[in-house]
Structure 1
Amino acid sequence: MTSRYPDTLEAADAAPTVVGRLSRLDRFLPLWIGLAMVAGLLLGRVIPGLNTALEAVKVGGISLPIAVGLLVMMYPVLAKVRYDRLDTVTGDRRLLISSLVLNWLIGPAVMFALAWIFLADHAEYRTGLIIVGLARCIAMVIIWNDLACGDREAAAVLVALNSVFQVIAFGVLGWFYLSVLPHWLGLSGAELAVSGWDIARNVLIFLGIPLLAGFLTRRFGERAKGRTWYEGQFLPRIGPVALYGLLFTIVILFALQGDAITSQPWDVVLIAIPLLAYFAIMWAGSYVLGRSIGLSYERTTTLAFTAAGNNFELAIAVAIGTFGVTSGQALAGVVGPLIEVPVLVALVYVSLALRRRLLPTATASRNPS
């Protein structure tokens, strides 16, 4: 499924049968993710005290096992980034401006509108969804982009850009969308107390550490044995680790929240409806925008996934810290990944299908790794 491992998807543009040559992990990724979600939910229900044990130690306000899974998941992808090519991304004003507008103007506004349309009579869930909309993705989007053969360098730049804006804008936008705008519109509002330092600390941990590790690995690996060895031998060895980290993170995340999800199934459905609409609107709208302004498939894909994904770790942490672990706001945050993970996996396949149909003669301009 991915071109980042020995058999490249670039060949799939000419030979769809490449799927048969992919590793079992890649070929059946949606199945493994589904099983990981189910396993996590079951573990959270059948093992007494598991939640307490997993939450006993935290890093940046996030359970240590989840923190480890996120770092393991992100490192191999960031080790693949060609850091000497980042200037080609920072010079692309169309991409950067489009990403900022989508993430910090359109995304929160779309989630605010959907939350009020679908959850007008459910204040806690509505507030929780608005918080999810404010938390722009800086973690899992990197692996979704890589699976869809997006532009790694662009993803690294856009995630870093989102991280800076997240530190600056999250609290301000939370105040605007939960207090000011509802008051202007004659709607009932809520208060959001969140520390800018707490957000900055999460960014430094969950983006800064794997980004630095990836940069240093490439720098010293290429110096020691050359780029051919690094991209031809080293990267294929560590590539699958990202997917193992993803599956581990999903299991732990759903184990932590399994009881909340399974004990309120109809509420989960209620929250899921606006979330599904949000992911569809943001991804499809971003994809259309990218193509309309002339971005390549790779950068259009990166733009779409960085706009559609959300930082559910931050959203859950803020909801729990502000409203409590048993609050409806926290449940809305928990439902976020329950919907986001399978939807964005499906959109990976949609992206790859669009690539073959819209760009049948396109070939990768980068070395596959």
Structure 2
Amino acid sequence: MSSPIEEKDVIEKHDSLKDEQAELSPIKKLNLLDRFLVLWILLAMIIGVVIGYYVPHVQESFETVQFGSVSVPIAIGLLVMMYPVLCKVKYEQLHIILSKKQVWLQIAISIFINWIIGPIVMTALAWACLPDLPELRTGVVMVGLARCIAMVLIWVSIAEGDSDYCAILVAINAILQIALYSPYAVLFINIVPSWFGAPPEKSVVVDIWAVARSVLIYLGIPLVAGVITRFTLKGWKGSVWYEEKFINRFGSLALVGLLYTIIIMFANQGHQIIDHIGPVCRTAVPLVCYFIIMFFIPFFILKIFFPYKQVVTQSFTASSNNFELAIA
């Protein structure tokens, strides 16, 4: 039989353990796949390059069947990756959050950073770092135009940001992306460079209808599917089951789709990456610079006026890009 002192020690240790778990809750809530995502991404890139470089006729196989100008294996990965994340967005809370005046100020700031500052910064970095590589430069610009709507939900959760506010920004960026991505692509790839005297041969023509079709397919389809899935299953099984059972289990499918897509992408370009490793490394420079600029500058400026949760949400949204859409 234990003494009162021993029982007190056990209780104190238990309370201490609970406090430690509470402090680590953002990380502990993530499963193994989420927690080591950076490692899995690096491994997926390596596996993809190895497959693409050593397995014969891989690229020809991927390009045999096309869906919306993208090979079917990549198209499957894009849709699988986007759909589960868009099921997490709390569309039913939009009217509640939007009724707060301060939220509209935050939304205006986000739109300004994401749709004016972001594209300008990425375009400037792309031309500064890749003036002699028009195709890679165009790809970098298109990444800069594709505002984040997916994995940022995970990053904000880890950083203990405002998840509900992030959901609002995700929904707004998803809608704006369908409307603005095509004209933005034409503006920043074909029109803006001519203002600064860029020679014609360095411009890459972008078919506005092809871009619009890709946006509607790879963003519109999973967005509509996410809305239907959320309202249907919540009405049928209830909110608790949907959030605690369905989302927790189904949400990991997005990361599986992400890793699958990365493997396919790098396998499709394995020879290009190995044979042109120099330009590939140069392409990483504007992307890294973009993240540093778009994360830290808004963070340090906005933290003067707003609380941490809103500031870190703004910073991650501004510095993250929807590379899935840019691929499409």
TM-score grouping bracket, smaller chain normalisation: 0.7 to 0.9
Whole-angstrom CA distance in 2 between matches of 1:88 and 1:290: 24
Show structure 2 runs of 5+ residues with no match. Answer: 1-18
Q: Which amino acid aligns with 2:77?
A: G
Match of 1:201 in 2: 213
Match of 1:51 in 2: 59
Offset from partner CA, 1:234-281 (integer Å, 9 cap, x none): 222212222212211111121112221121111212222222111211
- Against the structure 1 CA distance between its residues 67 and 17, is the aligned structure 2 distance closer, same or farther, given a 3 Å change threshold? same
Q: Report how far residue 41 of structure 1 moved.
A: 1.0
Match of 2:5 in 1: none
Q: Report how far residue 35 of structure 1 moved.
A: 1.0
Q: 1:117 aligns with which of 120, 128, 136?
A: 128
Match of 2:73 in 1: 65
Whole-angstrom CA distance in 1 between matches of 2:160 and 2:169: 16
Aligned residues: 307
Whole-angstrom CA distance in 1 between matches of 2:71 and 2:210: 15
Q: Which amino acid aligns with 1:103?
A: N
Q: 1:277 aligns with which of 262, 284, 289?
A: 289
Identity over the aligned pairs, expressed in percent? 44
Contact 1:175 1:191 in 2 (8 A): no
Counterparts of 1:186-225 in structure 2, within 5 Å, are 186-188=197-199, 190-225=202-237
Whole-angstrom CA distance in 1 between matches of 2:261 and 2:219: 16
Q: TM-score normalized by structure 1?
A: 0.71
Contact 2:295 2:316 in 1 (8 A): yes
Whole-angstrom CA distance in 1 between matches of 2:31 and 2:21: 18
57-66 or 148-157, which deviates more: 148-157
Match of 1:265 in 2: 277
- Against the structure 1 CA distance between its residues 255 and 135, is the aligned structure 2 distance closer, same or farther, given a 3 Å change threshold? same
Q: Which amino acid aligns with 2:121?
A: V
Match of 2:264 in 1: 252
Q: Report how far residue 13 of structure 1 moved.
A: 8.2
Contact 2:295 2:315 in 1 (8 A): yes
SS where residue 303 of structure 2 aligns? helix
Over aligned residues, Cα RMSD in angstroms? 3.2
Contact 2:181 2:212 in 1 (8 A): no
- Against the structure 1 CA distance between its residues 42 and 143, is the aligned structure 2 distance closer, same or farther, given a 3 Å change threshold? farther
Contact 1:77 1:143 in 2 (8 A): no
Whole-angstrom CA distance in 2 between matches of 1:236 and 1:200: 32
Q: Which amino acid aligns with 2:234?
A: E
Whole-angstrom CA distance in 2 between matches of 1:171 and 1:224: 37
Q: Does 1:26 align with 2:34?
A: yes
Q: Which amino acid aligns with 2:208?
A: G
Structure exhibiting the larger radius of gyration computed from Cα positions: 2
Offset from partner CA, 1:73-102 (integer Å, 9 cap, x none): 222222222222112454522232222222
Q: 2:46 aligns with which of 27, 30, 38?
A: 38
- Against the structure 1 CA distance between its residues 240 and 35, is the aligned structure 2 distance closer, same or farther, given a 3 Å change threshold? same
Q: TM-score normalized by structure 2?
A: 0.78
Offset from partner CA, 1:201-231 (integer Å, 9 cap, x none): 2232222222222222232222223222222
SS where residue 194 of structure 1 aligns? coil
